[in-house]
């Protein structure tokens, strides 16, 4: 069977592809920022919160980690309107991605916090620091430094997971690609191009995260 590749129709729609890529980056970076805040607060709750708060955070983490991301996305987009919270496809995608990343970040940061030497924590208590102060001034930086590589991996994974948010009409890169494929029927060409675009975005994000890590953690705390 012979197949003639024709990329002309795909490249003719490059403005749509660039718009989809931009939305993918916007959703991913937004989810990274919000998810990191959620993860930090979750780790703080598990470290210093009361029994009820720790139980609620643990339930959230387990619910997210043990259910498919697509189901979580559908819960946000289709179920929340039933209780009066209507979201657009892009908003639902951002919320679902942030909640998903927040749960994983909670566990990652908690693991890093557990690796901080107990001697430092006991010394801080002896100086009269409260649990929140200990977490913010003693634990958090050291925890983030030790778990930064797995956090970066999770950031990249959530960016790649954004490919499914087209299921709720979010016009990110995969959604745009599906629309172009339905219009042109050039499946090989469009998905070859989109694969290349995801690869470039992933490598670029990894490079930026690596630079941030070197600037933030190199030479500090030694």
Tokens of 190: 């469009």
What local confidence, expressed as pLDDT, does residue 1 receive?
Answer: 63
Residue 61 in contact with residue 70, Cβ under 8 Å? no
Q: Tell me the pLDDT of the chain (222 aa) as tens digits.
A: 677 888 888 888 899 999 999 999 999 999 999 999 999 999 989 987 889 999 999 999 999 999 999 999 999 999 999 999 989 999 999 999 999 999 999 999 998 888 776 777 788 778 777 877 887 778 778 888 889 999 999 999 999 999 999 999 888 999 999 999 999 888 999 999 999 999 999 999 999 999 999 988 876 544
C-alpha dist (Å) from residue 82 to 77, 92, 97, 161, 163:
10, 14, 20, 26, 25
What local confidence, expressed as pLDDT, does residue 72 receive?
Answer: 97
What local confidence, expressed as pLDDT, does residue 222 receive?
Answer: 44
Opening angle at CA 197, ends 39 and 148, nearest 5:
25
Report CA 191 to chain centroid distance, whole Å: 23
Task: State how far the Cα of 5 lies from the Cα of 18, in Å rounded to an integer.
Answer: 21
Residue 24 in contact with residue 171, Cβ under 8 Å? no
Which domains can be identified in the chain, with CATH numbers? Answer: 9-217 (1.10.3720.10)
Cα atoms found within 13 Å of the Cα of residue 65, Cβ hemisphere only: 14
User: Is the full-model pTM beyond 0.75?
Assistant: yes
What local confidence, expressed as pLDDT, does residue 220 receive?
Answer: 53
Taking CB atoms within 8 Å and a gap of at least 24, the contacts of 186-194 are: 186/6, 186/7, 186/9, 186/10, 188/3, 188/5, 189/5, 189/6, 189/7, 189/9, 189/10, 190/10, 193/7, 193/10, 193/11, 193/17, 194/17
């Amino acid at each position: 069977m012979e197949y003639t590749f024709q990329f002309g129709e795909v490249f003719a729609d490059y403005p749509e592809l660039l718009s989809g890529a931009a939305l993918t980056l916007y959703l991913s970076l937004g989810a990274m920022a919000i998810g990191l805040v959620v993860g930090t607060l979750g780790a703080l709750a598990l470290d210093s919160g009361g029994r009820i708060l720790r139980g609620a955070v643990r339930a959230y983490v387990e619910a997210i980690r043990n259910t498919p991301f697509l189901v979580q996305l559908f819960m946000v987009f289709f179920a929340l309107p039933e209780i009066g919270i209507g979201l657009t496809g892009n908003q639902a995608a951002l919320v679902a991605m942030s909640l998903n990343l927040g749960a994983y970040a909670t566990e990652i940061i908690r693991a890093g916090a557990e690796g901080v030497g107990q001697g430092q924590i006991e010394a801080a208590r002896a100086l009269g620091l409260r649990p929140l102060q200990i977490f913010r001034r003693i634990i958090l930086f050291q925890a983030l430094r030790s778990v930064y590589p797995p956090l970066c991996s999770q950031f990249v994974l959530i960016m790649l997971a954004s490919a499914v948010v087209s299921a709720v009409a979010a016009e990110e890169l995969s959604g745009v690609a599906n629309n172009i494929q339905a219009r042109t029927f050039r499946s090989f060409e469009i998905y070859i191009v989109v694969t290349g675009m995801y690869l470039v975005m992933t490598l670029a994000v990894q490079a930026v995260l690596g630079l941030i890590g070197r600037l933030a953690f190199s030479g500090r705390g030694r």
